[in-house]
Amino acid sequence: MNLQRVDWLAVALYFVFTMIVGVAYSRRASASMAEFFVSGRRLPWWLAGTSMVATTFAADTPLAVTGLVANNGIAGNWLWWNFLMSGMLTVFFYARLWRRSGVITDVEFTEIRYSGKPAAALRAFRALYLALPINAIIMGWVILAMVKILGITLGVGRTSAIGISLAVVLIYSTLSGLWGVVVTDFLQFAIAMTGSILLAVFAVSAVGGIPGLEQRLAAVYPSSASLFRFVPEIGSAWMPLSAFLVYIGVQWWAAWYPGAEPGGGGYIAQRIFSAKDEKHSLLATLWFNVAHYALRPWPWILVALASMALYPGLADKEAGYVRTMVDYLPSGLLGLMLAAFFAAFMSTISTQLNWGSSYLINDFYRRFLARNRSESHYVLASRVATVLMMAIAVLATLSMQTIGGAWRFLLAIGAGSGSVYILRWYWWRINAWSEISAMAASLVTALTLQLGFGLSTEKPADFAILMLITVGVTTTVWLAVTFLTRPESDETLFEFYRRVRPGGPGWERVRTALGMGSGDSLWPDFRDWLAGCVLVYASLFGIGKLVLAQWGPAFGYLLLAALSGWLIYRDLSARGWEQLAR
């Protein structure tokens, strides 16, 4: 492909902007660990929430969605749509609690919730586990996507593509800390969404609009009507009943997954720590879930469907997205779309590097190896850690073949541990050994089932069996360990409760001992969680019906979404916004 001068200009302008932001915020980021990793806890909700969306708007995501749609139709997206229910738990049950905790990372939380050597060991293990192998897998699949994009658009080989990708992001990500990440995220999200929408318009036009798309798909795929289903056809080859029940009934709460951790966590928690107050933390996560699940998917889905009609024999279905971009975008817009991919890539990688280095430095190096050093020392160490993690990510990229496969692998090895992350906030009896045993049991069980018994995450029926067995074994193990080991000391529990003030009956024993009366009811949070799920799913389906020109159903879904949004607003207003702005 030959990019024109105007295309190169669009890409160059984007890079100039990001470097200016990186340099502009480098001094502020160097001031302290809090500035480098949580922006001094001064982010407004719209900036923190948009940064969350931009981070999950990676270069890999449109390609992965294209693969899901090409293999299973629109309903194939339920592999990740089901995580909305977990995301809404974070909005109404956990965002305010995370903000109250006052930590820099979610791993640091372990030593305010638990105590002693088990807590310290858990913190050290989670810091290294999440920062190195897990972070490497995530960055690996993001880099893999960029390799595919650059290979098709610029015709460069795998090694050269990796080198270009890393050179673009490494300097920028080490300069400015989270301040530079979130500021550039805002522009990156705007560029990426604009590019995605424009590509969808040109792709659909290339196949003759929505009617032409339906006709061309019908000519190639005998069961093309099923491609447009929003809900999977239960009993089909790719969605047996067991797999569907796992998706909607188990996976969203039982499995740990980056960006959708049960109980919050990872870079989502990092943005929550960075918000101005509890009100801004709640609104940031609410905006993230609306934008992530309801607003972003449809341009990708339309391009995926169009690519199926345009390239019916394409072996690498994920690459159909990029081929559509190369073949059907005019000069100027092609450069904008390439800049959009760079924006999506840089947003995600810069966050992963900042997030991962926060674990290595705050939770391992500073905690266990080098205490009482200067803030500038730790910031410098963070920048060195950034380079180390990038190198490890390269090795992960070289061993990956498909993005969707990496998604399923992470879901499998984290199955069953989610219940601990949900309940540790609301049940005093959970201790450090509960988490340790859950992590170990889920990892060992999932790997044993895959490597020892041949269950494949690529096969829906196998995936369902793998998830159910892993969840069952892991839950049994961590519950048994919880009751067979001693609870945390009263001193630790009292201090945690005073600091975080979780509601519900699970802390009644502690509240009684402290003489603090009854805690907050969890019913309003549950009511808002339910309304939030309806809000986003109705918005998702309403926008989908709108783009497919099905006006009646679109109006009905969007009306239901508006009603759900109004109920949430009324409920939060009645509870008092001033109580959230603490």
Residues 339, 284 share a domain: yes
By CB atoms closer than 10 A (0-12, 13-18, 19+), residue 239 is buried
In a domain, 511, yes or no: no
Q: Taking a C-beta distance cutoff of 8 angstroms, is the pair 177, 37 a contact? A: yes
- Residue 318: predicted pLDDT: 80
Q: What is the CA radius of gyration of the chain?
A: 23
Among the residues of 317-423, which ranges form H helices? 320-328, 333-358, 375-398, 403-413, 418-423
DSSP H/E element including 529: helix 523-547
More confident residue, 36 or 66: 66
- pLDDT single digits (tens) 300-344: 999 999 999 999 888 888 888 888 988 888 877 878 777 777 777
Boundary residue ending a domain (442, 469, 488): 488
Boundary residue ending a domain (466, 488, 510): 488
In a domain, 506, yes or no: no
Secondary structure, 3-state, 282-348: HHHHHHHHHHHHHHCHHHHHHHHHHHHHHCCCCCCHHHHHHHHHHHHCCCCHHHHHHHHHHHHHHHH
Q: Tell whether the model's pLDDT for residue 225 goes beyond 60.
A: yes
CATH number at residue 380: 1.20.1730.10
In a domain, 501, yes or no: no
Residues 473, 337 share a domain: yes
Residues 466, 542 share a domain: no
By CB atoms closer than 10 A (0-12, 13-18, 19+), residue 86 is buried
Q: How many structural domains does the chain have?
A: 2
Residues 344, 477 share a domain: yes
In a domain, 497, yes or no: no
In a domain, 512, yes or no: no
Residues 86, 176 share a domain: yes
- pLDDT single digits (tens) 253-311: 887 766 667 888 888 888 898 899 999 999 999 999 999 999 999 999 999 999 999 99
Where does the pLDDT of residue 513 fall: very low under 50, low under 70, confident under 90, or very high at 90 and above?
very high
- How many other CB atoms sit within 10 Å of the CB of residue 569? 12
Residues 146, 63 share a domain: yes
In a domain, 276, yes or no: yes
Residues 231, 129 share a domain: yes
Boundary residue ending a domain (488, 503, 538): 488
Residues 412, 547 share a domain: no
Residues 451, 570 share a domain: no
Q: Which domain, by its residues, includes 532? A: 521-582
d(CA 232, CA 86): 20
- pLDDT single digits (tens) 71-117: 888 988 988 898 899 999 999 999 999 999 988 888 999 999 999 99
Give the residue among 354, 18, 355 at the shortest CA–CA distance from 184: 18
Mean pLDDT in residue range 449-475: 84
Structure tokens at 94: 């956990």
Structure tokens at 427: 């049940």
The percentage of residues in the chain with a pLDDT greater than 70, rounded to a whole number, is: 86
Q: Tell whether the model's pLDDT for residue 122 goes beyond 60.
A: yes
Buried-state track 288-310, b at ≥16 Cβ within 10 A, e below 16: bbbbbbbebbbbbbbbbbbbbbb
Q: Taking a C-beta distance cutoff of 8 angstroms, is the pair 243, 86 a contact? A: no
Residue 384 one-letter amino acid = V
C-alpha to C-alpha distances, 208 to 199, 213, 468, 475, 514, nearest whole angstrom: 14, 6, 44, 52, 69
Structure tokens at 246: 């796992």
In a domain, 510, yes or no: no
Mean pLDDT in residue range 444-459: 82
More confident residue, 580 or 427: 427
**Dihedral of CA 404/474/123/80: which sign?**
positive
Q: Tell whether the model's pLDDT for residue 391 goes beyond 90.
A: no
- Residue 487: predicted pLDDT: 94
Give the residue among 300, 283, 43, 299 at the shortest CA–CA distance from 186: 43
Q: Taking a C-beta distance cutoff of 8 angstroms, is the pair 414, 441 a contact? A: no
Residues 141, 93 share a domain: yes
In a domain, 119, yes or no: yes
Weakest-pLDDT range from 3-12, 31-40, 144-153, 259-268: 31-40
Residues 405, 537 share a domain: no
Residues 135, 222 share a domain: yes
Query: Taking all residues of the chain, what is their mean pLDDT, rounded to a whole number?
Result: 84
